Amino acid sequence: MRTFNMSKKLDYVCYDVRGPVLEEAERMRSQGLDILSLNIGNPAPFGFEAPGEIIHQMMENLHNAEGYSDSKGVLSAREAIVNYCEFKKIPQVGVNDVYTGNGVSELILMAMQGLLDNGDEILVPAPDYPLWTAAITLAGGKAVHYICDEQSEWYPDIRDITSKITSKTKGIVIINPNNPTGALYSTELLEQIAELARQHSLIIFSDEIYDRLVMDGAQHTSIASLAPDLLVVTLNGLSKSHKIAGFRCGWMCLSGDKSHARGYIDGLNILSSMRLCSNVQSQYVITTALSDLHKCDDTLLPGGRIYEQREYIVNALNNIPGLQVFKPKAAFYVFPRIDIKRFNITDDEKFILDFLHEKHILMVHGRGFNWLLPDHFRIVYLPKIEELKMACDRLGDFLEGYRQA
């Protein structure tokens, strides 16, 4: 009998956020166990509702959205994205520099497939949102991880980045605000990264899907606004800001100097045409979603859900002996450090599985985010405080007696 194996192209592709631990949680659920999921940044199941006008817009346009659109997206959506770029001071973006996508995810894959030849290198943060590493690997490239420093608010270590640039490096990815750390980068840091890209002729890929989820009165700066002379690919979408992850609505825009990247742009155009177009209903809500630029999301202010849940989780985790966590300024994740000596942890995935089996709570191990050591894990703090309290109580209880076998 002929057997069908996984393509060798996938041999080194890893995406653990939805990997074996999730499969185990699903197996336990199918046996009737109640599992609390703190593993995926998906606001809707935790009671965060999309703004009414977005739903209304989607329903209003169902008939208009029956056909394919232009591969890059309907003009009105791309015009709204161009406006958004102007608001964020992202320079030199016209409607032809914008690509809509089925979420940022599809565009990450396209951005890498269109650029990389076998062996080309892209600098990626560690920890990262692992789709970046997976997409680079699938495209035949090599993800070279640079360290983000927990002691410096999880900022990228410029010296480490510099030491990892080679003649094969084509670009650098930044995730700002960051998943999984929740870090928000300063203008000074972004300027340093832009300067490195300038010196070494790198394309900057800036994943800004959490740009509107910032707290404590902080401001998000798009790196593209600091680098009009460089090609910057900025990616964003509505999954998190407008709590419509299921609608699959994202975009990517090319800013700055494109004169030396005609070939790459041709590649992006081929890939964009090959998938015909992104989900057209979702494109129709972009104009409405991006017309509220000055509106602040109440959930991020003191008294609001995300803000208060962050306050709760950071305090609760820091009160558990053996755990330490940096207070994030943005997004809805924490990436706590665990004292691996104290608990004899050598395998962080096993630690997460042991906790899942004993306490029925699902988190993601740090190495799933391409972090090098088994000493971190990620929690999504979207559930209400009662549930976060239950999770932290169980974690404290579990760790009291835990020593990894």
Map tokens 């902080």 to a residue.
Answer: 218
CA atoms within 13 A on the CB side of 108: 25
Stretch 191-230 residues interacting with ligand PLP (CB under 6 A): 207, 209
Q: Which of 141, 250, 374, 383 binds ligand PLP (CB under 6 A)?
A: 250
Eight-state DSSP code of residue 316: H
Classify residue 243 as left (phi > 0), alpha (psi -120 to 50) or beta. Answer: left
Stretch that binds ligand PLP, among 100-108, 214-222, 316-324, 395-403 (CB under 6 A): 100-108
Q: Which three-class secondary structure state does DSSP give residue 378?
A: strand
x/- site string to ligand PLP, residues 310 to 349, per CB under 6 A?
Answer: ----------------------------------------
Q: Return the sign of the alpha-carbon dihedral for residues 29, 34, 35, 36.
A: positive
As measured in angstroms, the least distance from the Cβ of 375 to ligand PLP is 21
Question: Tokens standing for 67?
Answer: 């056909």
- Residue whose beta carbon is closest to ligand PLP: 103
Q: How far is CA 316 from CA 23, 86, 184, 272, 391, in A?
A: 28, 40, 22, 46, 10
Of residues 214 and 340, the one with the C-beta less far from ligand PLP: 214
Eight-state DSSP code of residue 405: -
Stretch that binds ligand PLP, among 103-111, 284-292, 317-325, 368-376 (CB under 6 A): 103-111
x/- site string to ligand PLP, residues 133 to 172, per CB under 6 A?
Answer: ----------------------------------------
Q: Is 277 in the site for ligand PLP (CB under 6 A)?
A: no
Stretch 40-59 residues interacting with ligand PLP (CB under 6 A): 41
Map tokens 């094969």 to a residue.
Answer: 168
Of residues 306 and 340, the one with the C-beta less far from ligand PLP: 306
Cα-based angle 64, 66, 71 (whole degrees, multiple of 5):
95
As measured in angstroms, the least distance from the Cβ of 282 to ligand PLP is 10
Q: Which of 123, 148, 165, 245 binds ligand PLP (CB under 6 A)?
A: 245
Give the integer Cα–Cα distance in Å for 292 and 238. Answer: 12
Contact 170, 51 (CB under 8 A): no
x/- site string to ligand PLP, residues 120 to 139, per CB under 6 A?
Answer: ---------x----------
Residue among 206, 259, 212, 204 nearest 84 (CA): 212
Give the integer Cα–Cα distance in Å for 230 and 212. Answer: 24
As measured in angstroms, the least distance from the Cβ of 278 to ligand PLP is 11
As measured in angstroms, the least distance from the Cβ of 252 to ligand PLP is 10
Stretch that binds ligand PLP, among 97-105, 139-147, 277-285, 315-323 (CB under 6 A): 97-105
Give the integer Cα–Cα distance in Å for 185 and 219. Answer: 9
Of residues 279 and 320, the one with the C-beta less far from ligand PLP: 279
Q: Give me the residues that bind ligand PLP (CB under 6 A), please.
A: 41, 103-105, 129, 175, 179, 207, 209, 237, 239, 245, 250
